[in-house]
Amino acid sequence: MPTTPRRLALNLPLLVLWIAAVGVAAVGYWLVQRGNAAQAEFYTAGGTDPLELLSAQSTTTMGGLLLAAGVVGLLLALATHARARSAAILAANTVADAATHEPVASEDFDDLDDRLDEGDVLAERDRADADGEATDADADAAEPQRARDEAELEGGSETARETAANRV
């Protein structure tokens, strides 16, 4: 087992997303508080200047929009963080599983490839028979060969060969 410490993987774009979302939400909260305080002061002082009132309302509106954008950014950062974490866990599990499996011998694939090739030949013969391309004489001559091929695909046992020969 390796004794070297694991290197800390820092995802900088995700870190920037977290910081930006918190910053935007904080600025939005501050603007909402400032705009609401200005409106409260305007109403308690009995102000008559519409420019001051509209400025306070605009500050509150911009602050509310920034606060909402910051919350959406936080949710996006949380979802991205969860997705990155699950991908890292899946990759670690895949590597661990791959390390425990033994490689498959290439001879197993060769046997399988031979069987598939024989199956393709049988399928082509069956399609040709179904299309009526073969004459009756060709079909009579090909029948014993097809029975032998089917018997070999079924497992190659002696009883399967005898059964196939009895069909002819």
* C-alpha span between 114 and 157 (Å, rounded): 17
Residue-by-residue pLDDT tens, the chain, 168 positions? 456 666 667 788 889 999 999 999 999 999 999 999 999 999 999 888 899 999 999 999 999 999 999 999 999 999 998 998 888 888 888 877 776 766 655 555 566 566 666 666 566 666 666 666 555 555 555 566 666 666 565 555 555 455 545 555
Residues 122/149, Cβ–Cβ less than 8 Å: yes
Closest among 10, 17, 166 to 88, alpha carbons compared: 10
Residue 3 is assigned to a structural domain of this protein = no
- Does residue 17 share a domain with residue 96? yes
pLDDT of residue 67: 97
Residue 6 is assigned to a structural domain of this protein = no
Domain-terminating residue out of 52, 71, 100: 100
Domain count, the chain: 2
Instruction: Name the residue range of residue 110's domain.
Output: 106-167
pLDDT of residue 64: 97
pLDDT of residue 48: 86
Domain-terminating residue out of 84, 100, 116: 100
- Does residue 18 share a domain with residue 94? yes
- Does residue 84 share a domain with residue 57? yes
